[in-house]
Amino acid sequence: MNEPECISLNDLIDTTRALLESNRIESLTHLLNTIHIEPESLAPYRHFHDAHYTRNLVFKNDLFELLVLCWGIGHRSWIHNHRGQHCWMAVVEGTLAVRNYKRLGCDQQKRTVQLQSLPHFLISPGSAAKVDPDEPVHLVWNPPELDRPAVSVHVYSRPFDACVVYDAESGLCRDTTLQYTSEYGQLTERHRAGGRLADLPACTCQLSAEERDIHCGVVP
């Protein structure tokens, strides 16, 4: 078995741009499965938080954005969608679990949804995952039993700044604005304050607009 090619994040950005500009979408999954990201190029984006995972922007243009996500032990996302965009996820350190959901019914006016939970699977270095635009709802978490942090690289094409989050138990859903923990290696003003998230209800549907804005830094 061939050793994975070791490349920098800048090299990954250049190759990703070339693949997407030439509409070679499926080639990106293969690329992410066959590379290893140089640890030193990840260093500016390794921002961990003790209460939630972090979203760290590395590159963004009209075609795609690339983020580094840092997951503490037991950290998880909300169940969320991807606005119909192409999305790829590659773990570069540790292991993450992913559970996809099928939407069986949705009332947009009442903001209710019925979800069917599918079996979860694990992704680790060398097993990149691509989100199916036709079934784009999933949950991602760092299994606490593995007892180690994780770092993942995510590509979204095209970029989106809001998504829908779902509460499988209540059947409620709503739009949520996305936030970055850091941009181009620098912590955003919100996260420089270093405040810990308060205890939050199980679904953002139960939050005030201000509380949702605070919480949305930990959605995909």
Q: What is the pLDDT of residue 79?
A: 95
185: left (phi over 0), alpha (psi -120 to 50) or beta: left
Q: What is the pLDDT of residue 200?
A: 30
Those residues with Cβ within 8 angstroms of residue 150's Cβ, 6 or more apart along the chain or in another chain: 70, 71, 91, 93, 94, 95, 96, 142
Strands 162-167 and 96-107: unpaired
Q: What are phi and psi of 5, to 5 degrees?
A: -75, 135
Q: What is the pLDDT of residue 76?
A: 96
Q: Are the C-beta atoms of residues 6 and 40 closer than 8 Å to each other?
A: no
The model's pTM is 0.86
Tens digit of pLDDT per residue, the chain (220 long)? 577 889 999 999 999 999 999 999 989 999 999 999 999 999 999 999 999 999 999 999 999 999 999 999 999 999 999 988 999 999 999 999 999 999 888 887 888 999 999 999 999 999 999 987 777 899 999 999 999 999 999 999 999 999 999 999 899 999 999 999 999 999 998 887 764 432 333 333 333 343 333 333 333 4
Q: What are phi and psi of 168, to 5 degrees?
A: -65, -30
Cα three-residue angle 55-57-60, rounded to 5 degrees: 140
CATH numbers and ranges of domains, the chain:
5-180 (2.60.120.10)
